[in-house]
């Protein structure tokens, strides 16, 4: 997995494998910036929500689900998927400007609450209530 990287980088990388939820939360909370460099195939940005909830600033590929979770870029930095230079610029915008990073992190920490199960359950119940009030589900013919 680390083939092709210079030795000076490889020695600074530790692959953790699977970690417990508690360890994951602690790792995310310790991050100055969480980077999500995915290039596609994401159905939702749960990894971003976890990082935001833990208090990390986020830099992520500009994929539709990540763009949605990051409020179009107001809750984190977005960069072109697969573009290492653009990713580096987005990461540096957060690392080089502590005030910007903190403001982004605080906005994200507030907004991530809308994904809390206590709120999501009420929204799901409202959808079911609406369906049932309109006669329930109809068979597709």
In a domain, 48, yes or no: yes
- The domain in which residue 41 lies consists of 21-114
On whether residue 3 sits in a domain, the answer given is no
In-domain check, residue 109: yes
Give a yes or no: residue 75 inside a domain. Answer: yes
Q: How far apart are CA 87 and CA 80, in angstroms?
A: 7
CATH code, domain with 61: 3.40.50.2000
68 is a domain residue: yes
Number of domains the chain contains: 1
| Cross-strand pairs, 78 | 60
Say how far apart CA 33 and CA 64 lie, in whole Å: 20
CA-CA distance, 42 to 46, in Å (whole number)?
A: 9
SS3 63: coil
Closest by CA to 114, choosing from 72, 60, 53, is: 53
Per-residue pLDDT of the chain (141 residues; tens, 9 = 90+): 788 888 888 888 888 999 999 999 999 999 999 999 999 988 888 999 999 999 999 999 999 999 999 999 999 999 999 999 999 999 999 999 999 999 999 999 999 988 788 777 887 888 888 888 888 777 776
Asked whether residue 9 is assigned to any structural domain, the reply reads no
What was the pLDDT predicted at 110? 93
10-22 pLDDT tens trace: 888 888 999 999 9
* Residues 32-51 pLDDT 10s: 999 999 999 888 889 999 99
Q: Name the residue with tokens 């809308």.
A: 114
């Amino acid at each position: 997995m680390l083939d092709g990287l210079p030795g000076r980088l490889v020695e600074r990388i530790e692959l953790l494998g699977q970690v417990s939820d508690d360890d994951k939360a602690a790792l995310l909370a310790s991050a100055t910036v969480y980077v999500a460099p995915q290039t596609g195939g994401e159905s939702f940005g749960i990894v971003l929500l976890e990082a935001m909830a833990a208090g990390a600033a986020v830099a992520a590929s500009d994929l539709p689900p990540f763009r949605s979770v990051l409020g179009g870029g107001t809750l984190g930095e977005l960069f072109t998927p697969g573009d290492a230079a653009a990713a580096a610029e987005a990461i540096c915008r957060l690392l080089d400007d502590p005030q910007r990073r903190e403001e982004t992190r605080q906005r994200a920490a507030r907004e991530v609450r809308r994904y809390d199960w206590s709120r999501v359950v009420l929204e799901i119940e409202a959808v079911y209530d609406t369906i049932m009030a309109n006669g329930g589900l109809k068979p597709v013919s």
